[in-house]
């Protein structure tokens, strides 16, 4: 047995990570080709058009929101937190898969991550941007948005350091910064490749600036690898911390149904769950638009993603049942009521959508057959994300029956709630499509590193 | 491959980082200075319809503020005097003066004079003169030496930080209640002030609010 992967303990022959046995240069050709080609697939244009329109709609609706105030949304007492926070948590959650893939899987030397890490990271960045819209616009008076930061001011006021909403600002800010740095660092060698291949002066200059003078020398690689490792190390705790902090927005309050210690781990599992579902959706879309990359993002990759979804989906299901158990076990009437009301009250429909999508749907991935069917994977990934949106919706709707029965009310979104949410999807896909077209969606350098040719023992030069 | 960038280009990143840092510091300093209420509010001095002078009336003639701002000790607002108050004297003094034409007009037509407001807090901030005056805070602490002003201008920022500065430590601003309108009152000596405070503090029961709902009701 010649080619031997030292990170695997089992003595089985390695299934190639990349199909079609490409050479180094054909990897470069295929991936750079997507960005250098003059004619773009028609589907790309159609998708870009639709998402562009939705983004415009988002901008217009935000403009109207600034003009008119948050009264155009459906929120009111008792549901004083409406779709804005639901969407915020939803988008932040999506981002988590990117960090997990790029940082934790990197540190664990899971080489299959190389095909999907680049665009999972891009997904993280765009998702965090989408998430940042919502806390930004929900303040109503956007011109004082800087009050979210601890800046000295005429009021002699600091932000409230005891408030989880402030922790959120830091958590999400750190998250965005680290993810963007990580993504960019990974891009540098590929940008240099683009620079070297560029035909005209303008492109050469742009990529030249972006690649920060990368020449690919031995020393540069040494620094680069170390920087990458360090960034992976820094990002790793973020996978756990960001959504834990987001969960404290709820858990630190004293609302029955929110004030629980299970929230942080349960939110993190849910975030990874929804993030991987989004990676799956996006990989399938990218494979459909650019069939060249099917050899890089293989069925094996999709199957592995499905397994992660199965695992985290089951964890989320456990959390749902544990919440109920603790509510009963606590003996607290209000806690019990909150949960019974979730499952049987006016928002029961949302609760059962959530259970169906998040707990039942992923169970189909126990079957290899279903894990290897593109249509099944695609539909399931979308269902999971619908379910995860509903999970946050269900949590926020806990508010609709508070301690004072006379103020109980039902929550109905307005067209602006819906329009802004749909618009954020438009923005997300708009950015993502631009990324697919103009930047290397798969890391060429890292792919080359996992090809059999890159192994020093390749081709019989074994030292044994 | 031909060189795309000349050699000096290596310095550009450093220049950008340095420049951005410098620009950032300048921007913060500029906002700090030009954006603060010390800059935007202090010195506000609108032109009034009648060239009425506090320096003449309150300073040289020595009238007490409360002759005109009669409600200041009892109500939220200090009250701008009605035309009638001026006419107490000006039916006799300078009845022909051009500067007083508007005053006589308003007197005959029974229409109030439209004085332009100088000090103005936002509506969401609650301020009440009476507790401040009863506690012995002089007009001068908040309005400056009005008796020396030809035309009233704002001398304090009236920012929230300014309110709180005093609320956290009102002692240096307190004086006997009889002296609140006296622009020339000074404590005899710092020691005398401390002695006076020690003797009066308990009886005054001074307790300025620092909680949000004290001023944002």
- CA–CA separation, B179 vs A398, rounded Å? 59
pLDDT at position B1 is: 54
Distance CA A233, CA A112 (A): 19
Contacts of B27 in chain A (CB under 8 A): none
Asked if B36's CB is within 8 angstroms of A154's CB, the reply is yes
Which residues in chain A are closer than 8 Å to B39, comparing Cβ atoms? none
List the domain boundaries for chain B: 14-43, 44-80+115-214
- Which residues of chain B make contact with A212, given a CB cutoff of 8 A? 13
CB A285 within 8 A of CB A425: no
Q: Which of A154, A208, A213 sits opposite B161 (nearest CB)?
A: A154
Instruction: Give the model's pLDDT for residue A460.
Output: 53
Q: Are B32 and A152 inside 8 Å of each other by CB?
A: yes
Q: What is the pLDDT along chain A (464 residues), one digit of tens a residue?
A: 444 455 544 444 567 788 877 888 888 888 888 888 777 888 899 999 999 999 999 999 999 999 999 999 998 889 988 899 999 999 999 988 888 888 888 898 888 888 888 889 999 999 999 999 999 899 888 888 888 888 888 888 889 999 999 999 999 999 999 999 999 999 999 999 999 998 888 999 999 999 988 988 999 999 999 999 999 999 999 889 999 999 999 999 989 999 999 999 999 999 999 999 999 999 999 999 888 888 899 999 999 999 999 999 999 999 999 999 999 999 999 999 999 999 999 999 999 999 999 999 999 999 999 999 999 999 999 999 999 999 999 999 999 998 899 999 999 999 999 999 999 999 999 999 999 999 998 999 888 888 887 777 665 554 44
The residue among A368, A452, A461 whose CA lies nearest residue A14 is A452
The beta strand positions in A387-444, using DSSP E, are: none
pLDDT of residue A20: 78
Distance between CA A203 and CA A38 in Å, rounded? 14
Q: Which residue of B has its CA nearest to A203?
A: B4
Closest Cα in chain A to B212: A157
- Taking the domains of chain A in order of start, what are their residue ranges? 36-141+160-450
- Cβ atoms A402, A338 nearer than 8 A: no
**Residues paired with residue B174 on neighbouring β-strands, in sequence order:** B137
- Inter-residue contact A409 to A400 (CB < 8 Å): yes
At residue A458, the pLDDT reads: 60
Query: Distance of alpha carbon B5 from its chain centroid, rounded?
Result: 59
Is B36 an 8 Å CB contact of chain A?
yes
Cβ of A154 and B5 within 8 Å? no
Min Cα distance A144 → chain B (Å) is 13
| Per-residue pLDDT at A1 | 41
Q: Say what the pLDDT of residue B188 is.
A: 86
Q: Which two tokens stand for residue A84?
A: 């804005």
Residues of B in contact with A205 (CB under 8 A): 4-5
Cβ burial, residue A234 (10 Å; 0-12/13-18/19+): middle
Mutation for testing the B interface, residue in A143, A146, A149, A156 having most B CBs under 10 Å: A156
- For chain B, residues with pLDDT lower than 70 are 1-2
Q: Could you read off the pLDDT of A388-400 as tens digits, one per residue?
A: 999 999 999 999 9
Question: Considering all CA atoms of chain B, what is the largest pairwise distance in Å, rounded to the nearest integer?
Answer: 98
């Amino acid at each position: 047995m010649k080619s031997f992967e030292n990170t695997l303990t089992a003595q089985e022959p390695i299934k190639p990570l990349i199909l079609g046995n490409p050479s180094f240069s054909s990897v470069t050709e295929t991936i750079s080709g997507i960005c250098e080609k003059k004619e773009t697939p028609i589907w790309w244009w159609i998708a870009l058009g639709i998402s562009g329109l939705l983004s415009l709609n988002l901008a217009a609706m935000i403009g109207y929101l600034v003009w008119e105030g948050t009264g155009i949304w459906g929120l009111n007492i008792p549901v004083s937190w409406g779709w804005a926070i639901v969407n915020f948590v939803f988008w932040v959650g999506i981002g988590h898969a990117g960090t997990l893939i790029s940082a934790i899987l990197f540190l664990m030397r899971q080489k299959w991550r190389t095909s999907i890490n680049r665009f999972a990271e891009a997904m993280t960045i765009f998702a965090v941007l989408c998430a940042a819209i919502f806390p930004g616009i929900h303040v109503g008076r956007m011109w004082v948005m800087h009050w979210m930061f601890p800046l000295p001011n005429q009021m002699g006021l600091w932000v409230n350091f005891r408030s989880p909403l402030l922790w959120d600002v830091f958590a999400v800010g750190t998250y965005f910064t680290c993810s963007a740095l990580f993504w960019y660092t990974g891009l540098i060698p590929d940008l240099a490749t683009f620079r070297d291949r560029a035909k005209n002066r303008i492109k050469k200059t742009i990529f030249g600036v972006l690649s920060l003078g990368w020449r690919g020398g031995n020393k540069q690689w040494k620094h680069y690898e170390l920087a990458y490792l360090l960034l992976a190390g820094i990002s790793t705790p973020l996978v756990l911390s960001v959504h834990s902090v987001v969960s404290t927005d709820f858990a630190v309050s004293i609302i029955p149904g929110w004030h629980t210690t299970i929230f942080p781990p349960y939110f993190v599992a849910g975030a990874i769950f929804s993030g991987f579902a989004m990676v799956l959706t996006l990989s399938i879309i990218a494979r459909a638009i650019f069939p060249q990359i099917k050899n890089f993002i293989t069925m094996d990759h999709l199957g592995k993603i499905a397994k992660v979804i199965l695992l985290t989906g089951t964890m989320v299901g456990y959390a749902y049942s544990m919440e109920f158990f603790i509510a009963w076990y606590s003996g607290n009437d209000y806690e019990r009521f909150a949960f019974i009301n979730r499952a049987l009250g006016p928002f029961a429909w949302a609760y059962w959508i959530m259970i169906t999508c998040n707990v039942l749907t992923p169970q189909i991935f126990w079957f290899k057959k279903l894990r290897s069917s593109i249509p099944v994977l695609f539909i399931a990934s979308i269902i999971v994300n619908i379910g995860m949106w509903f999970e946050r919706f269900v949590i926020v709707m806990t508010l609709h029956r508070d301690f004072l029965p006379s103020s109980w009310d039902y929550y109905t979104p307005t067209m602006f709630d819906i329009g802004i949410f749909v618009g954020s999807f438009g923005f997300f896909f708009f950015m993502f499509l631009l990324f697919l077209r103009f930047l290397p969606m798969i890391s060429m350098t890292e792919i080359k590193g996992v090809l059999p040719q890159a192994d020093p023992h390749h081709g019989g030069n074994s030292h044994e | 491959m031909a060189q795309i960038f000349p050699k000096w280009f290596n310095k550009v990143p450093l220049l950008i980082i340095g420049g951005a840092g410098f620009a950032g510091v300048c921007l913060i300093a500029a906002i700090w200075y030009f954006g603060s209420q010390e800059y935007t509010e202090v010195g506000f001095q609108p032109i009034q319809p009648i060239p009425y002078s506090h320096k003449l009336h309150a300073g040289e003639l020595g009238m007490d503020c409360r002759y005109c701002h009669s409600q200041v000790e009892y109500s939220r607002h200090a009250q701008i005097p009605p035309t009638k108050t001026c006419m107490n004297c000006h039916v006799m003094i300078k009845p022909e003066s051009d500067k007083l034409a508007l005053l006589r007009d308003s007197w005959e037509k029974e229409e109030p004079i439209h004085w332009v407001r100088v000090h103005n807090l936002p509506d969401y901030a609650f301020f009440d003169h009476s507790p401040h005056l009863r506690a012995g805070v002089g007009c001068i602490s908040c309005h400056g030496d009005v008796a020396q002003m030809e035309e009233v201008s704002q001398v304090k920022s009236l920012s929230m930080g300014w309110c709180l500065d005093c609320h956290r430590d009102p002692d240096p601003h307190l004086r006997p209640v009889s002296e609140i309108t006296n622009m020339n009152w000074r404590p005899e000596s710092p020691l005398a002030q401390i002695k006076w405070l020690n003797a009066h503090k308990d009886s005054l029961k001074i307790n300025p609010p620092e909680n949000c709902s004290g001023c944002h009701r």
